[in-house]
Chains A and B, each alone.
Chain A
């Protein structure tokens, strides 16, 4: 018995790619900008420190997401 599907396999692949790639790329740019905007803030302030760490982690996650999409389509 074949699996019931909502869309074709090719469309499903592209939906997954777009949902991951677009969000990851946006996230990467957005967190990079936020990190840049904090460059002159006082790093000894715990909240600023947490924000910097969080945005850096967000950038790493964004890079992982974008690379994963390329791998999914055999580009890398």
Chain B
């Protein structure tokens, strides 16, 4: 029994997941929604823009399920997912702000905080000595809120209210995570 468990454990450690897997394909497919989203905003088609951002957000959930079904979860996949979130939502936020559908100041602050967070994650990965995505329960929630922010702008739903409340919340979360990533010990860091 013990040898079976040991064999399974070593198999799991030895198993290398290809970067060309279905979950990463779903994640990458989100980029395909950016041109139609940009086109919709440019044309002033609110409902179409909302539809495209909803599909983009749903694909963010689907890639996790696909990774589980095909057993292709990897550190690279998690990192790729986080980077895709940043690029897709960042692009959409800039676009809606540029077309006057969202207030510019909170969008600039959100983008800046997002960049700071990305830099902190890079430092964390360096401290860990390997590709690792810092798991933050709070950041997972604020990223979902970011997807909604784009939807609020395209749908014209309480835009000022949602955007201005987002900024202090994200600032608190980035500060909290900064302490965890820069100061606290990194679990399983390579020495």
Contacts and interface: CB of A to CB of B under 8 A. Distances in A.
B155 A64 contact: no
Nearest to B185: A46
Nearest to B46: A3
Majority secondary structure, A binding face: helix
A64 B165 contact: yes
A3 B142 contact: no
B76 interface: no
Nearest to B145: A61
B174 to A, nearest CB: 12
The number of chain B residues touching the other chain, given as a range, is 20 to 34
A16 B152 CA distance: 8
A46 B51 CA distance: 39
A20 B45 contact: no
Contacts of A27: 141
Interface of A: 3-7, 12, 16-17, 19-20, 27, 31, 46, 50-51, 53-55, 57-58, 60-61, 64-65, 67-68, 71-72
Interface of B: 44-48, 50-51, 54, 135-142, 144-145, 148, 151-152, 155, 157-158, 161-162, 165, 169, 172-173, 176, 180, 184
Given A12-B50, A54-B137, A68-B152, 15 more contacts: A4-B45, A5-B47, A16-B151, A16-B157, A19-B151, A20-B152, A50-B135, A54-B138, A55-B137, A57-B141, A61-B142, A61-B169, A68-B157, A68-B161, A71-B161
17 contacts: A6-B47, A12-B155, A16-B151, A19-B151, A20-B148, A20-B152, A54-B137, A54-B138, A54-B139, A54-B141, A57-B137, A57-B138, A58-B137, A61-B169, A64-B169, A68-B158, A72-B158
